[in-house]
Amino acid sequence: MDLGYWLPLFFAGAMGLALLIYVILDGYDLGIGILLPFANDDEKDVMVAAIGPFWDANETWIVLGVGILLIAFPQAHSIVLTSLYLPVTLMLMGLILRGVAFDFRVKAGDKHKAKWNRLFAFGSLAASLCQGWMLGAFVTGLTGDATSTLFAALIALALPALYIMLGAAWLLIKTEGELFNKAVRWGRMAVLPMGGFLLLISIATPLVSSTIADKWFTLPNAIGLMPIPIATALAYAGLIWVFNSKQILHNGYGWLAFVALMVLCVLASIGLAYSLFPDIVLGQISIWEAASATESLLFTFWGAIIALPMILGYTIFIYRVFRGKATHLSYE
């Protein structure tokens, strides 16, 4: 078996998976952060309680994603992060603010709580916008010309919409009563903009990148790809249905909305992976050109195949421990 061929492929897959998990998991807690200003004080506490035990580990997935980029594809890591210097810096500042606001809001005393709530929401929104911007710039191969910038701006708006949906769907799982009803309203309001963005991006992507257009619209691949848009449309329809069906929502099946969003995220990332492959930076460098030395990849590979199942195992354990509706967080 040719390790020099398979290991970069494995790590590209692992990186994609880590970033997909990041978008879904940190997506819901960033989304809840963005929604925070629309809730009353009591609801704010419950919303934070709904993400309290999880956000730390959720955020670790982006470290893993960027970590794999760094470990396995150091050449690409340099290109990507130096090109995205500004959005990365702003995203980091956003993540810093929201991460610490989480703790400060309950510990710094009541008179500072409102300030930290605002910083929590602001940081969440800033981080989400910047992540969208980064994704948009990345998809267009980091060229930085006018159309690509416009496209990046489009995704910069789309990603927070997705995160808001994830946040609202997460609240359907974790809350009840008036906050639950609010989450339903938030979801109904955000679902159309999110769908609109999704559609716009799907139209814009092949227009912005001819490489991607070729991959999408050449036969017979185009036929093989058809299941992706069809499944996406179905999942989106399902999402709207869940948010508008009283039977589903009030019989405890609100989690279906989260599942529909997960399906959307998975489909989008399959589409993205297909569009980029075999390049890691579109049109600039392939995963094999960017890869580390095989012996370095192999050393990390053994660690990864032992550690990743363990990480998934105890992540599931944590979600089981904290299953059910969220109440006020208490340390004691």
Q: Which residues pair with 285 in a beta bridge?
A: 281
Does 92 interact with other proteins (rule: CB under 8 A)? yes
User: For residues 112 and 250, which CB has a smaller minimum distance to other proteins in the complex?
Assistant: 112
Residue of 40, 82, 147, 244 that binds other proteins (CB under 8 A): 82
User: CB-based burial of residue 332 (10 Å sphere; 0-12 exposed, 13-18 middle, 19+ buried)?
Assistant: exposed
Minimum separation from the CB atom of position 57 to other proteins (A): 4
Sign for the CA dihedral angle at 235, 247, 25, 182 comes to: positive
For 182-301, list the strands marked E by DSSP.
Answer: 279-281, 285-286
Token output for 74: 């150091």
Say whether residue 145 binds other proteins (CB under 8 A).
no
Told to check if 330 binds other proteins by CB under 8 A, we report yes
Q: Distance (Å, rounded) from C-alpha 140 to C-alpha 244?
A: 36
Nearer to other proteins, 77 or 182 (CB): 77
CB atoms within 10 A of CB 89: 11
Told to check if 233 binds other proteins by CB under 8 A, we report no
Q: Which is nearer to other proteins, 78 or 221 (CB)?
A: 78
Interface residue with other proteins, options 17, 70, 157, 240 (CB under 8 A): 70
User: Can you tell me whether residue 53 is helix, strand or coil?
Assistant: coil
Binds other proteins by CB under 8 A, chosen from 2, 85, 146, 223 = 85
What whole-number distance in Å separates Cα of residue 225 and Cα of residue 218? Answer: 10
Candidate residues 89, 147, 221, 244; the one interacting with other proteins per rule CB under 8 A: 89
Using rule CB under 8 A, residue 77 touches other proteins: yes
In angstroms, rounded to a whole number, what is the distance separating the alpha carbons of residues 48 and 263?
25
- The reply on whether position 93 binds other proteins by CB under 8 A is yes
- Determine which residue in the list 5, 307, 309, 325 makes contact with other proteins, applying CB under 8 A: 307
Q: Which region among 108-116, 170-178, 229-237, 265-273 touches other proteins (by CB under 8 A)?
A: 108-116
CA dist., res. 20 & res. 36, Å (int): 24
By CB under 8 A, tell whether 52 contacts other proteins.
yes
CB of 15 to other proteins, least distance (A): 11
Q: Counting contacts by CB under 8 A, is residue 17 touching other proteins? A: no
Q: Determine if 41 is a binding residue for other proteins (CB under 8 A).
A: yes
Q: d(Cα 279, Cα 32) in Å, to the nearest integer?
A: 34
User: Does 329 sit near other proteins (CB under 8 A)?
Assistant: yes
Q: Is 9 in the site for other proteins (CB under 8 A)?
A: no
**Binding region for other proteins (CB under 8 A) out of 57-65, 174-182, 242-250, 259-267:** 57-65
Kindly report the number of other CB atoms within 10 A of residue 331's CB atom.
Answer: 4
71 binds other proteins (CB under 8 A): yes
Determine, following the binding rule CB under 8 A, whether residue 81 of this chain makes contact with other proteins: yes
Tokens encoding 257: 């909305």
With CB under 8 A as the rule, give the number of residues binding other proteins.
Answer: 69
The label of the residue with tokens 């105890």 reads 314
Amino acid at 239: L
232 binds other proteins (CB under 8 A): no
State the residue for tokens 């020099």.
4
The pair of structure tokens assigned to 110 is 């009541």
Q: For the CA atoms of the chain, what is the radius of gyration?
A: 20
